[in-house]
Structure 1
Amino acid sequence: MARKRKGRDVNGWLVVDKPAGMTSTSVVNKVKWALQAKKAGHAGTLDPEATGVLAVALGEATKTVPYITDALKAYEFTVRLGQATNTDDAEGEVIASSDARPTDDEIKAALGAFVGDIMQVPPQYSAVKIDGQRAYKLAREGETFEVAARPLWVEELLLLDRPDSDHAVLEMVCGKGGYVRSVARDLGAVLGCHGHVVALRRVWSGPFEAEHGLSIEQIEAMAQSVDLDAYLRPLEEGLSDLPMVTATPEGAARLRNGNPGMVIANDVEYGEECWAAQDGRAVAVGRFKAGELHPSRVFNQ
């Protein structure tokens, strides 16, 4: 007999403004404890030293995590020019240096090569798998290996500020799987001066913004009280990039049982992925076919 999960049935999203020095898993555990929730997960890992949006999904909202993971995200980051490190960030050892410093115009001219559909090589110290092992584990053990390039969509990459000749502040809007550290490394290589990330903040992720996120201190102050519940955001926000259809009463009943159900749809094409709502609440996600939604995920709210 399966063990029953302890905790409350909490469904929705809690947006956290993650502090530096804390892992994404630690943030999820803190939120889960604070809300006494049975189930929690996050949409997109942030490095421990990075700050900004970490959207924590609770209960049934965990079924919408893939849609936030796939959504566009914006990062603001500072590149230290003139130095390369083995981790491509300030946590690593300096492995190369240069006295060359590009001008603002040279940086702006180089950014165009990193926009659109690009191929990006993840850092050696990353969570990608090499023959079943995490790359960062192999790197720490001194192993020599190659990390294969991966496709990435970069919507925008801008120079925001140039505090001094050694630093450049950039903003990148990209799709799933982007490594800001790789951008800093590769930009430094193109400019002939080396580079690595010294500060990184995720400004927004899909519909969630850092400025609307709670700090860990706020979460701890409201932990295990109804005050924290007031900051929960609807499960449906995790589906904001998908078109919505309206389930008929009979269709909703069928969908909840995992069967195709009748829906009312506007501007949805045959076979398109969408979500069905009844009274504004998500019932299921699936494919629209001939007036019915064929569910792939069903919500029990």
Structure 2
Amino acid sequence: MARKRKGRDISGWLVVDKPAGPTSTAVVNKVRWALDARKAGHAGTLDPEATGVLAVALGEATKTVPYITDALKAYEFTVRLGIATNTDDAEGEELGTSDLRPDDAAIKAALSDFVGDIEQVPPQFSAVKIDGQRAYQRARDGESMDIAARPLFVESLLLIDRPDADHVTLEMVCGKGGYVRSIARDLGQKLGCLGHVRDLRRVWSGPFDAADGLTLARIEELARTPELDAHLQPLEAGLDDLPEVKATAEGATRLRNGNPGMVIASDIDYGEECWASFEGRAVAVGRFKAGELHPSRVFNLPQGSAD
């Protein structure tokens, strides 16, 4: 018999402004300890040296993680021109150098090729699985791999600063599965000058903004206090990109039991994915069909209005 995990049955989102250094998993573990939460997860891994938004889901909110993972995200990052590395960031070994330094006009012109639906090859040092093993594990053993290109939607990619000839600061808004390090690598190759990411910050992720995030130091300071609980955003924040329908009292009961339930909806197409609420709380996510929501995920939350 499996041992029951200790901790509180607490649900919601805590937005962390991750510092450079710790892994995303280490941040989640710190948040879970600080809130004495039974269950926690995150929506979208950040590399250890990256900073910015890491949205941590607690309890029932972990069921909404896929919707934040799929949401658009914004990154601000600086590319070091003239040097390629094996990790495509400043932590790696130098692979090659170039004295060429394109001007701003050439850089802006090249950025247009990275906007829209593109194909992107993940870095050698990435979590992509190759024959059942993570790419970074094989790369650490000195192996060079042919990694298949993957689709990525890039809504925008803008030059926002040029601190000096060696560096450009870019802002990218993209969908799920984007590797900023690959953008830096490929841009350097296209410009003929090589390049890698020097620093990276996730500015926002779906509805969550870095400006609203807590630092790890602040989380440790407020650990195990009501003040930290007060920073939790409701589970429903993770459903921001989905349309909402209202469940009837009987419909809510049926939905909580995993059955189709009657909902009140307007401007919802047949078969569209949406979420149902009752008395201000999320009940389920599912597909709308002929006046009912057919649930795919059900939430076990206290009834009553969400604070």
**Under TM normalisation by the shorter chain, which class is it?**
over 0.9
Residue by residue, what CA displacement relative to the aligned partner does 1:44-99 show, whole Å, maximum 9, x if unpaired?
A: 00000000000000000000000000000000000000010000000001111000
Partner of residue 209, structure 2 = 209
SS at structure 1 position matched to 2:8? coil
Q: How many residues align?
A: 301
Partner of residue 126, structure 1 = 126
TM-score normalised by length of structure 2:
0.97
Question: 8 Å contact 2:124–2:144 — kept in the other structure?
Answer: no
- Partners of 2:163 and 2:172 in 1: how far apart? 18
CA positional deviation for 1:4: 2.2
- Partners of 1:49 and 1:142 in 2: how far apart? 22
- Partners of 1:5 and 1:255 in 2: how far apart? 27
Residue by residue, what CA displacement relative to the aligned partner does 1:201-231 show, whole Å, maximum 9, x if unpaired?
A: 0000000000110000100000011110000
CA positional deviation for 1:105: 0.5
Question: 8 Å contact 2:110–2:190 — kept in the other structure?
Answer: yes
CA positional deviation for 1:132: 0.6
Structure 1: gaps spanning 5 or more residues = none
Partner of residue 93, structure 1 = 93
- Partners of 1:217 and 1:144 in 2: how far apart? 39
- Partners of 1:22 and 1:56 in 2: how far apart? 14
- Partners of 1:158 and 1:238 in 2: how far apart? 27
CA positional deviation for 1:143: 1.5
- Partners of 2:196 and 2:143 in 1: how far apart? 22
Partner of residue 260, structure 2 = 260
- Amino acid corresponding to residue 262 of structure 2 in structure 1: M
Is 1:145 paired with 2:134?
A: no
Runs of 4+ in structure 1 deviating by more than 4 angstroms, as ranges, are none
CA positional deviation for 1:2: 4.0
- Partners of 1:93 and 1:208 in 2: how far apart? 34
Identity, % of aligned pairs? 78
Partner of residue 291, structure 2 = 291
- Partners of 1:212 and 1:266 in 2: how far apart? 32
Residue by residue, what CA displacement relative to the aligned partner does 1:132-155 show, whole Å, maximum 9, x if unpaired?
A: 110000011012320100000000
- Partners of 2:144 and 2:241 in 1: how far apart? 40
Partner of residue 196, structure 1 = 196
Is 1:247 paired with 2:251?
A: no
Partner of residue 233, structure 1 = 233
Residue pairs, 1:162-181, within 5 angstroms: 162-181=162-181
Residue by residue, what CA displacement relative to the aligned partner does 1:150-175 show, whole Å, maximum 9, x if unpaired?
A: 00000000000000000000000000
TM-score normalised by length of structure 1:
0.99
Partner of residue 220, structure 2 = 220
Structure 2: gaps spanning 5 or more residues = 302-307
